[in-house]
Amino acid sequence: MADSFGPTTDGDDHGVGRDRGEPRGEPRGEPRKEPIRVLVVDDHALFRRGLEIVLAQEEDIQVVGEAGDGAEAVDKAADLLPDIVLMDVRMPKRGGIEACTSIKEVAPSAKIIMLTISDEEADLYDAIKAGATGYLLKEISTDEVSTAIRAVADGQSQISPSMASKLLTEFKSMIQRTDERRLVPAPRLTDRELEVLKLVATGMNNRDIAKELFISENTVKNHVRNILEKLQLHSRMEAVVYAMREKILEIR
C-alpha cells in the first residue's frame, strides 16, 4: 500500500501524510487466525471512508463499524465488541478521550488507538490515563496505520515518535526543575486544589471535574491555573507527576 491520505478539501489538516511520525515497534507473536476487528471513529465521514478503503486491502484487518462521535462510538463498541477502536481525539457531542473510559467499560477487551492531529502533551497524557494503548498523529502513512493496528492487537503500545520525544523532553525538564527545588518546601495547596488535582490525575477533563465537585467549569480552570502557578509548572501532566513525587498526592 503505497498510498497515503491527503488533507481534507476544507483546508483543515485532518489528512494522513507520508514518511513522518512512523510508529515505533514491529508486531510480535504468532499470526492471528481471525482478522483484527476494527471500529473507526472520526467526525469526518470522508476520513472514515478513506480509512475503510485502505484497511479493506489488508486480509488480516476487518472494519466492522464506524462512528462519528464519542457517544456513538460507545454504543457501537458495546454492540460490536471490536478488537481495536481507531478514534480521533476532538469530536462533537463527546470527544475521544472522554469516550475512552466508557468504551473500556462496555468492551473491556477492546484496545484504543487515538489517531489525531493534536500534538499536545496534555491530550496524550489524558488519553493514556483514560485507557488508550496508542496515540498516533494523522501525519503517518497508510502503511503505518495498519502496522500500528497489528502491533496494538499483539499487545504493544504505539506512540508517534514526535510525541514520545516531547514526553521525554518534558520529563527531562521536569526532573531538572525538581532537582533544583528539592531543598525548597513544597508549596501548600488548598483542600479544594488538592481535590481538583486528584481528579485531574484520574484523567478527568474540566467539565467532568466541575460536575463531580458541583462547581463551574471556569472555577475548575482557575483552580488548575492556580495549581500550576503555585508549583511553577507548565502542564497538567507535570503537575500530577510532581505532586505524586513530592507526596503531595497519592493515587491509589
**Side chain identity at residue 233, one-letter code:** L
Q: What is the pLDDT of residue 142?
A: 80
Query: How many C-beta neighbours within 10 Å does residue 44 have?
Result: 16
Strand 84-87 to strand 36-41: parallel, antiparallel, or no bridges (unpaired)?
parallel
pLDDT 10s per residue in the chain (252 long)? Answer: 334 444 333 444 444 433 444 444 444 445 557 899 999 999 999 999 999 999 999 999 999 999 999 999 999 999 999 999 999 999 988 889 999 989 999 999 999 999 999 888 788 888 888 888 889 998 888 888 999 999 999 888 888 777 766 666 666 666 665 555 554 556 788 989 989 988 887 778 888 899 999 999 999 999 999 998 888 887 777 777 777 777 766 544
- Smallest CA-to-CA distance from 38 within 91, 101, 104, 86 is with 86
* Threshold 0.85, pTM exceeds: no
- Report how far residue 65's alpha carbon sits from residue 81's, in angstroms, rounded to the nearest whole number: 10
Domains in the chain: ranges and CATH: 36-160 (3.40.50.2300), 181-245 (1.10.10.10)
Give the whole-angstrom CA distance, residue 70 versus residue 127.
Answer: 13
Q: What's the pLDDT score for residue 15?
A: 40
* pLDDT score for 59: 92
- 111-169 pLDDT, tens digit each: 999 999 988 878 888 888 888 888 999 888 888 899 999 999 988 888 877 776 666 66
Q: What angle do CA 246, 250, 251 make, to 5 degrees?
A: 135
Residue 225 makes CB contacts below 8 A (sequence gap 6+) with none
Check residue 14 and give its pLDDT.
41
